[in-house]
Copies of this chain bind each other. A is one copy, B any other.
Amino acid sequence: MKKKPTISDIAKLANVSIATVSRVLSNSDYPVKEEVRQKILGISKEVNYKPNIFGKMLKGGSSKEIGVIIPSVTNPFYAQLVSAVEKQCINRGYIPLICSSYNNPKMEKRHIDILFQKQVAGIVMSTIRKDDPFLNIEAHDKNVKVVLFDQTRTDLQYDSVSFDFRKGGYMAVDYLIQCGHKDIAFLTAPIDRKSRKMILEGYKQALKINGIMYNSKRVIISSMIGTNDSGEFEYENGKTLARLLLQDKVLPDAIVTINDMTAIGIIRELTSEGIEVPKDVSIIGFDNISISSMITPSLTTINQPSYETGTLATKMLLDRIEGKEIETNNIVMKPTLIKRDSVKKIEKETRQ
């Protein structure tokens, strides 16, 4: 009465062997007389039988769990993504183990260790390790599938869902130029990530194609290195960047930056200095987190589809886990421009 019923309890009650019970309860396609099957099913409902996963696991089955490694759920971009992962998992009977690395390689390794120990079926992750000795070995040694998203690595043979940051940067700047802006600043955290580097490249490319001189003075890089990746930090960094920008006496026409949270920080700092957005300066963000449409002025931005990324990455992972032998798949999500109110359209005539 006190402890959980096991198959052997059920076996006794049904007057059959534990093997038979196991066959029925684990949905084996093994033949069992329908009458017996029903009896066992009935009893197991009655006693509220719940299989003990550990027993199963010991036999070597892989758990229906997948690891999800992200910088932090506190960052709305990743919260969205996690939400998508969760939904896919539920649909297909898996359980996501959510691990925040806070952009700390030590933590990341720790989480990966734990996930392996738990014998997860797979991992979807946004790694920040540039050097791979670890990831590579471990993942191949055990048979744990891995799908990378967000930050990917071409040196590893993993499936991935990445994003065309370069094009995103390009689109942002190009749009600003189409709106009549010429003096366009790029405000960024340190270029220690491929994504930022790519956006900067897109920025340069758009200037070039539109015949605007690249001016390194207009690329402002903060020195703050975030230990975590929460929105908090990015917001503060935005304020810092705005202050750096204001050291220059002439304001640019427009600002492009590496994510929406940073953009919001920039707007806030500028506003508190009496500079209006978009009247005095236009700004365009990156990511399209949900809050961006809610603030005033609503933020024009480059959409990086977090929900779709999470959905796709999870689907790929689960497909692979379930043995659908697909080739290594590297999906690149396309940026789209979300026009809102933080960019002003300048009539050609009014500019000197």
Render A105-136 as a binary contact track against B, CB cut-off 8 A, 1 for contact. 00100000110111100000000000000000
User: From residue 42 to 93 of chain A, which have CB atoms closer than 8 A to chain B?
Assistant: 50-55, 57-58, 72-74, 76, 79-80, 82-83, 86, 90
Q: Is A83 within 8 A of B79, CB to CB?
A: no
Q: Contacts of A264 on B, CB cut-off 8 Å? A: 294-295
Q: Is B54 within 8 A of A58, CB to CB?
A: yes
Check if A281 is an interface residue, CB within 8 A of chain B.
no
Q: Is B290 within 8 A of A50, CB to CB?
A: no
Q: Is A51 within 8 A of B117, CB to CB?
A: yes
Query: Out of B4, B98, B271, which one reaches A98, CB within 8 Å?
Result: B98
A261 to chain B, nearest CB (A): 8
- Of chain B, the residue at the smallest CB distance from A137 is B48
A176 to chain B, nearest CB (A): 22
Q: Which has the most chain B C-beta neighbours within 10 Å: A51, A58, A116?
A: A58
Q: Is A267 within 8 A of B290, CB to CB?
A: no
Check if A296 is an interface residue, CB within 8 A of chain B.
yes
- Of chain B, the residue at the smallest CB distance from A59 is B54
Q: Contacts of A267 on B, CB cut-off 8 Å? A: 296
Q: Is B235 within 8 A of A294, CB to CB?
A: yes
Q: Is B51 within 8 A of A54, CB to CB?
A: no
* A119, B79: Cα distance in complex, Å: 27
Q: Is B294 within 8 A of A296, CB to CB?
A: no
Check if A168 is an interface residue, CB within 8 A of chain B.
no
* A296, B51: Cα distance in complex, Å: 54
Q: Contacts of A52 on B, CB cut-off 8 Å? A: 58, 117
- Of chain B, the residue at the smallest CB distance from A110 is B90
Check if A232 is an interface residue, CB within 8 A of chain B.
yes
A245 to chain B, nearest CB (A): 18
A-B residue pairs in contact (CB < 8 Å), sample of 23:
A50-B113, A50-B117, A52-B58, A53-B54, A53-B117, A54-B57, A54-B119, A74-B76, A74-B80, A74-B83, A76-B76, A76-B79, A79-B79, A83-B100, A90-B107, A95-B114, A231-B290, A232-B290, A235-B290, A264-B295, A268-B296, A295-B295, A296-B296
